[in-house]
């Protein structure tokens, strides 16, 4: 099982820059919600495709892969293999 922890809050620009040197991370973008206008009512697959047009993958940011047509099957086979938890909420 893979365990992913979500937590920790850095608000100072200096602390963020320092942390990226000692603890490199990659931001994972899941879906775009707005681009000049709200896209909430747009089907999720269209929003994911829009996100792929906006984001140029790099060491610091990527988009999540997605599966058209077999999403439920993918969810079912990975469901018990990943645990995500939040350490604490940011203030």
Q: How far apart are CA 78 and CA 65, in angstroms?
A: 14
State residue 24's pLDDT score: 77
35: Cβ contacts below 8 Å, ≥ 6 apart: 50, 54
Return the closest-CA partner of residue 51 out of 67, 72, 28: 28
State residue 78's pLDDT score: 76
| SS3 per residue for 52-79 | HHHCCCCCCEEECCCCCCCHHHHHHHHC
State residue 27's pLDDT score: 80
**pLDDT per position as a tens digit, 28-86:** 888 888 888 898 899 988 999 999 998 999 888 889 887 788 777 877 877 777 665 55
């Amino acid at each position: 099982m893979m365990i992913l922890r979500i937590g920790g809050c850095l608000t100072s620009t200096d602390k963020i820059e320092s942390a990226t040197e000692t603890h490199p991370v990659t931001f994972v973008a899941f879906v775009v919600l707005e681009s000049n206008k709200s896209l909430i009512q747009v089907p999720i697959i269209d929003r994911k495709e829009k996100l792929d047009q906006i984001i140029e993958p790099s060491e610091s940011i990527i988009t999540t892969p997605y599966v058209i047509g077999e999403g439920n099957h993918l969810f079912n086979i990975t469901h018990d293999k990943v645990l995500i938890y939040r350490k604490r909420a940011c203030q």
